[in-house]
Amino acid sequence: MSNTDTSTGRTSDEQELGAAASQLSTAPQEDAPNLPPALGVIGWARWFWRQLTSMRVALLLLFLLSLGAIPGSLIPQSGTDETKVADFMKRHDVLGPLYDKLGLFHVYSSVWFSSIYILLFISLIGCIVPRTWQFVGQLRGRPPGAPRRLTRLPAYTTWRTETEPEQVREAALVLLRKRRFRAHVTGDAVAAEKGYLREVGNLAFHIALIVMLTSFAWGQLYKSEGNKLILEGDGFSNTLTQYDDFKSGTLFDTDDLDPFSFNLKDFKGTYETTGPNRGTPRTYEADVSYSVGAYGKDKKRTIKVNEPLVIGDSKVYLTAHGYAPVITVRDGKGKVVYSQPVALLPLDSNVTSSGAIKVMDGYRDAKGVAEQLGFQAFFLPTYVPGNELASQFPALDNPVLNLIGYHGDLGVNAGIPQSVYQLDKSHMKVFKDAKGAEVRENLKPGETMTLPNGAGSVTYEGTQEWANFQVTRQPAAGWALGGAIVAIFGLAGSLFIQRRRVWVRAVRGSDGITVVELGGLGRSESAKVPEELGDLAGILYDQAPGAPETPVSDTPDPTAVPAESEGAEK
C-alpha cells in the first residue's frame, strides 16, 4: 500500500474525497448569491423561491424574527395590558401614534411580524420537502465506494496480514453489519455508513416546527379567554354575557363556547403561620359543583392553582381570591337601601384590599332628596394595631374595614364605563363631621358607622370570600405539545448522532501479503470517528492478525495527530 506519491496537491485531495463525502448530509448546496435572471416571470419566481429556501435567507429570517420580537417585550402590548397602552398613548404625543401606526402595541399580531414568520414558514417547507426526497433517495441507494486513497481521510489505519483479502472483506462486512452499519462490498473494499437517524431527527425537528407553528396559529385564531369573579355560593354558566371581561381570537364564534356551568361551593385558603414563609398559601382551592351541557348531572371537583377543571377544550382556572365584606346601608329613617357583599380587589399577598361601594338608587338624604352614596373601602383581613396601611396576614384573623363616605352623583349614568372597584369622586362630596373632618372609621364585623347629620348608617355585617376564575379555550394545544416533544427528540438526534462512513480495503500486495486499510469519514470533524475506527480495526485485527515484517517507513505524518484514544489498544 505504501503510497509515496507526494506530488498530490490539496485540490485533487478534495476532489477525491468529494465523491466519497457526497450526500453525507441533506443540507442544500450553498451557491454564491446568484444574480436574478432575465427570464421573465417564471425565471423570477424560480429565483425568488431559490433565494427564499436558501440557508442564507433562513438565517436572515431567523435573525429578523428574534429582532422583531424585541419591541413587544419593551413596549406595552394591548393584548396583555390595555390600560398601560392607553397610559403610554396619553404620555407620548409623538411616539404614541407612531407606534400605533407601526403596530408596535400588538407586535405579535402585526402585519410585519406575521410576514416574517410566514416567510420563515414557507422557507422551512421549501427546505424540508426536497431534503426529504433526497434523504429517501439516499436510503434507497447504497453508501458510495471507497475513495482511491484512504490515507486522505480524517481517520486512517492500516496493517499487513497473511489472511486472504476476500476473507478480510467478508469479516469486515459481518463486523460492520453487526455494528448496524449499512455495508456492502464494492470492488476491493467494503463501504459502510451509519447514523441515518441524524437526518431523520433533523427532518423530524423541522417538521415538528411546522406542526407547532400551525397549531399555535390555529390556537390564536380560535382561542377565547374570559374572567369571572364568583362569590361563595354563586354560580356561573358559560355564556358570553356572564363574563366580567372576555377576549377572543379573530375566528372565534360564540358557538365555540363549551356549554357548562358551575357553582362555587367553598373557597379554602390556609396559610403558613410561622417561619420565613409566613403567609404563603398552604391550601388554596375552590370546591365547585359543575355540570356539562343543558341537562348534565352535577359533579363535584376541587380546582387548585395548577389544577384547572377541564371540560372539552375549555379549562377553568382558579386565578385569584379575595374578600367581599357584606355591607348594609340604611337611610336616615333606618330603611335598608343597600345590602349585599361587595367584592374588593387584593393589593398585596396579605390581601390588603380596596374597592368601592356604590349605592345607586333608593337612597334619600335627611331632607328626603334622592342622592347617590359612595364609599371608598379599604380592608385588612388581619389588622395588627399600629399597621394601619397593610394587612399582616392573608387569613381573616382580625378583619377591619375602613370606610370613607361620599354623597352626590356617582357618574354611572354618564354612559362612560366605570370600574366597579373605583369611585369617580368628581361629582361627590365627602361626608364631614361637625368639626369639618372627613368621616372615616375602622369597622369590625357587626359594627356600624353613623353618617353625620342624620344621613343614615353603614353596617359591616360580616365577610364572604370570592374566587376569580379564568375560563380559557385554546384549541390545538395538544398538537403543539406533540410537536414540541417530537422537536426535542428530533433535535437531540440531529445534534448528537454523527453520520459517518467507514471503508475497509483489502488487497494483495506484490509480495503476496494482504494489505488492510481502514478509513473513516464523519459529517463533521469528531473525535468519535477515529475512536470507532480504532475499535473496528482492533476487532478486525484479531481476525486478520498482522504479518511479521519490518516497518516500511517509520516517519509519521507531521500533520497527523494520534487520536486521543486509540481504541485498538483498549
Residues of this chain that interact with ligand HEM (CB under 6 A) are 25, 27-28, 53, 55, 58, 62, 120, 123-124, 127, 202, 206, 209, 491, 494-495
Residue 559 interface partner, choices other proteins, ligand HEM, none, CB cut-off 5-8 Å depending on type: other proteins
User: Residue 555's binding partner, choosing from ligand HEM, other proteins, none, with beta-carbon cut-off 5 to 8 A by kind?
Assistant: other proteins
Least separation, in Å, of the C-beta of 179 and ligand HEM? 23
CB of 367 to other proteins, least distance (A): 49
- The 3-state DSSP class for residue 88 equals helix
The entry of ligand HEM, other proteins, none near residue 123 (CB within 5 to 8 angstroms by kind) is ligand HEM
Q: Which residues contact 34 (CB under 8 A, 6 or more apart)?
A: 47, 50
Which partner, ligand HEM, other proteins, none, binds residue 246 by CB below 5 to 8 Å per kind?
none
The binder of 385, among ligand HEM, other proteins, none, by C-beta within 5 to 8 A per type, is: none
CA distance 446 to 72: 50
Indicate which of ligand HEM, other proteins, none lies near residue 549 (CB less than 5 to 8 Å, by partner kind): other proteins
CB closer to ligand HEM, 24 vs 318: 24
- Residue 415's binding partner among ligand HEM, other proteins, none (Cβ under 5 to 8 angstroms by kind) is none
Kindly state the smallest distance separating residue 219's Cβ from other proteins, in Å: 8
- Closer of 372 and 514 to other proteins (Cβ): 514
The sign of the CA dihedral 37, 41, 47, 52 is positive
Residues 261, 266, 267, 270, Cα dihedral to 10°: -150
- Which position has the grid cell 382558579? 318
Residue 275, contacted partner among ligand HEM, other proteins, none, CB below 5-8 A by kind? other proteins
Contact between residue 470 and residue 305 where contact means Cβ atoms under 8 Å apart: no
Min dist CB 140 to other proteins, Å, is: 24
Task: For the CB of residue 365, give the shortest distance to other proteins in the complex, in Å.
Answer: 44
53 binds, among ligand HEM, other proteins, none (CB under 5 to 8 A by kind): ligand HEM
Residue number with CB closer to other proteins (319 or 354) = 319
C-beta of 18 vs 452, nearer to ligand HEM: 18
Measured from the CB atom, the residue of 316 and 480 that comes closer to ligand HEM is 480
Among residues 76 and 483, whose Cβ is nearest to ligand HEM? 483
d(C-alpha 29, C-alpha 453), whole Å:
90
- Please state the closest distance from residue 421 (CB atom) to other proteins, in A: 20
Residue 243 CB, shortest distance to other proteins, in Å, is 14
CA–CA distance, 33 with 409 (Å, rounded to integer):
72
- Choose between 77 and 202: whose C-beta lies nearer to ligand HEM: 202
Contacts of 180 (CB under 8 A, 6+ apart): 194
248-252 contacts, C-beta under 8 A, 24 or more apart:
248/223, 248/224, 249/219, 249/220, 249/221, 249/222, 249/223, 249/224, 250/221, 251/221, 251/222, 252/221, 252/222, 252/223, 252/224
Lookup result for grid cell 369590625: 444
Considering beta carbons, is residue 28 or 408 the nearer one to ligand HEM? 28
Cα end-to-end distance, the chain, whole Å: 26
Contacts of residue 460, Cβ cutoff 8 Å, sequence gap at least 6: 325, 326, 327, 401, 403, 443, 444, 445, 446, 447, 448, 449
Of 287 and 441, which has the nearer Cβ to other proteins? 287
Cβ 563 to other proteins, closest distance in Å? 5
Q: How far apart are CA 531 and CA 566, in angstroms?
A: 6
- Region at 301 (left for phi over 0; alpha for psi -120 to 50; beta for the rest): beta
Calculate the alpha carbon distances from 53 to 48, 58, 116, 128 in Å: 9, 7, 14, 9
Q: Which is nearer to other proteins, 11 or 426 (CB)?
A: 11
C-alpha–C-alpha distance, residues 239 and 223, integer Å: 15
For ligand HEM, which residue has the nearest CB? 127
Choose the one of other proteins, ligand HEM, none that binds residue 349, judging by a C-beta under 5 to 8 angstroms depending on kind.
other proteins
Q: Minimum distance between the CB of residue 54 and ligand HEM, rounded to whole angstroms?
A: 6
Q: Are 327 and 344 in contact (CB under 8 A)?
A: no
Instruction: Choose among other proteins, ligand HEM, none what residue 505 binds, the Cβ cut-off being 5 to 8 Å by kind.
Output: none
DSSP for residue 415: S
Shortest approach of other proteins to residue 316 CB, angstroms? 9
Q: Which is nearer to other proteins, 44 or 63 (CB)?
A: 63
Based on the number of CB atoms within 10 Å of its own CB, is 347 exposed (0-12), middle (13-18) or buried (19 or more)? middle
Query: Cβ 137 to ligand HEM, closest distance in Å?
Result: 15
